[in-house]
Amino acid sequence: MMPKIRERSGSELVFSVLKLLMIGYQLWGAESGVDVTELCGVLRTTDARIGGVVAFLAGEGLVSRDETSGSVRLTDVGARNLLSISHNALG
């Protein structure tokens, strides 16, 4: 019998999406994006939940979604804010 996978909370999903997008931004640059359906698979959640997280983050100006390709990426402002926070936390 397969173990039941715990559903992530909204804040866990927000953090996880931002973490994945920040890693991509640092490794592949500002134009790197992730397909929304891939986020669903990696984070083991539904399109609706990821859609809500992406909508929230877009409203905060942290991410942008390309409706044509179905991908999401950090905005320049979002990356600057998030990366400066993580840099300042390191000391």
Q: Tell me whether residue 2 is in a domain.
A: no
Q: Is residue 1 a part of any domain in this protein? A: no
Q: Of 3, 4, 20, 16, which is closest to residue 53 (Cα–Cα)?
A: 16
Residue 31, domain CATH: 1.10.10.10
The answer as to whether 73 is a domain residue is yes
Look at residue 44 and tell me if it is in a domain.
yes
Per the structure, the count of domains in the chain is: 1
Confidence band, pLDDT 50/70/90 cuts, at residue 90: very low
Report yes or no on 5 lying in a domain: no
> Six-digit token pair at 20?
């994945």
Full residue range of the structural domain in which residue 30 is found: 10-90
pTM of this structure = 0.81
Phi (first) and psi of residue 31, to 5 degrees: -90, 5
Q: Which residues of 68-87 are buried (b: 16+ CB within 10 A; e: fewer)?
A: eeebbbbbeebbeebeeeee
Q: Is residue 3 part of a domain?
A: no
Model pLDDT for residues 10-68, shown as the tens digit of each residue: 789 999 999 999 998 888 888 888 999 999 889 989 999 999 999 999 999 999 999 89
